[in-house]
Structure 1
Amino acid sequence: MAAEDAREDAALELAQRLFDAAREGHTDTLTRYVSAGVPATMTNASGDSLLMLAAYHGHADTVGVLLEAGAEPDSLNDRGQTPLAGAVFKGYRDVVAALVAAGADPDAGTPTARASAEYFGKLDMLELLG
């Protein structure tokens, strides 16, 4: 039983390191792990995907790697938010452009990316959303 607990603890520790890597934009680290088989769609206890964390923290290169590895551009977290809405809210033009290019729906989630841009008067974001 102790060996099983140790493996579980190691897996949880690795997951936390990967979520931190997405949040901090450690693209090389995530590239290595995703290439080795870690799902690009992995989510934390709040439903935030690696993509959501990278997008919300403005890491366009990391977003690109995760999208190429199969991350879902319209994945919703437990609050119904999408990576695109988070990037619009934060004003990360390069992240928004990458998500839109990958087919992210500006009308998915609650609030939608489009609604966020309109509410906060981010006309430049509205232009990117099309």
Structure 2
Amino acid sequence: MTSDATPSSAAENADQDEQVLELARAMLDDAREGRAQRLLPLLDQGAPVGMRDAHGNTLLMLAAYHGHAELVAELAARGADVDQLNDRQQSPLAGAVFKGFDDVARALLEAGADPDAGTPSGRDSAVFFGREEMGQLIEQRAPRG
């Protein structure tokens, strides 16, 4: 079996791989920093909205955990899974409740987030951290069955 790869094409492939990784890192940083003006056009051009970092955090999780409600809504509108758990089984909603980002939690709930997803769940986080208003909002949006 022969290889079609020449030393120069292997180097080009390695360079392209590094460029893709650099773009992915930049997109994850954009989500974390709330830089919608840089991130959303890339998604609109076909970059995966479900991209994850090494810890399983999606773009939406990073935006939610860092308090970027408008970006969370935009990501959800582009098909991001609002209930995707990270490697620690944490949900974006639980992260928003934990961090006290009511506007992010509202955006997630409006996008259909399940308050019972994850460990702990958003609902449990509201109780544990004494976030009564958030607990009431969760009950209004998704009463316990």
The TM tier, using the shorter chain, reads: over 0.9
For 1:1-130, list aligned pairs within 5 A.
1-130=10-139
**Preserved CA contact (<8 Å) 1:51 1:63:** yes
CA contact (8 A) 1:19 1:53 kept: yes
On the 8 A contact 1:96/1:128 being kept in 2, the answer is: no
User: Which entry has the higher C-alpha Rg, 1 or 2?
Assistant: 2
Specify every segment of 5 or more residues in structure 1 that has no aligned partner in the other structure, as ranges: none
Which amino acid is the alignment partner of residue 92 of structure 1?
F
Q: What TM-score results when the alignment is normalised by the length of structure 2?
A: 0.88
Q: Secondary structure at the match of 2:120?
A: coil
Deviation at 1:125, TM superposition (A): 1.1
Task: Indicate the percent of aligned positions where both proteins have the same amino acid.
Answer: 52
- What letter matches 2:13 in structure 1? E
Equivalent position amino acid for 1:97 in 2: R
Equivalent position SS for 1:20: helix
Structure 1's consecutive aligned runs of 4 or more residues displaced over 6 angstroms after TM superposition are none
Please provide the CA RMSD for this pair: 0.7
Distance 2:20 2:103 in 1: 32
- Higher RCO (CA 8 Å, separation ≥ 6 residues): 1
What is the rounded CA distance, in whole Å, between the counterparts of 2:78 and 2:47 in structure 1?
10
Structure 2 runs not aligned, ≥5 long: 1-9, 140-145
Amino acid at match of 2:87: D
Preserved contact between residue 41 and residue 72 of structure 1 (Cα < 8 Å): yes
For these two proteins, the number of residue pairs brought into alignment is 130
Pairwise CA distance, 1:129: 1.1
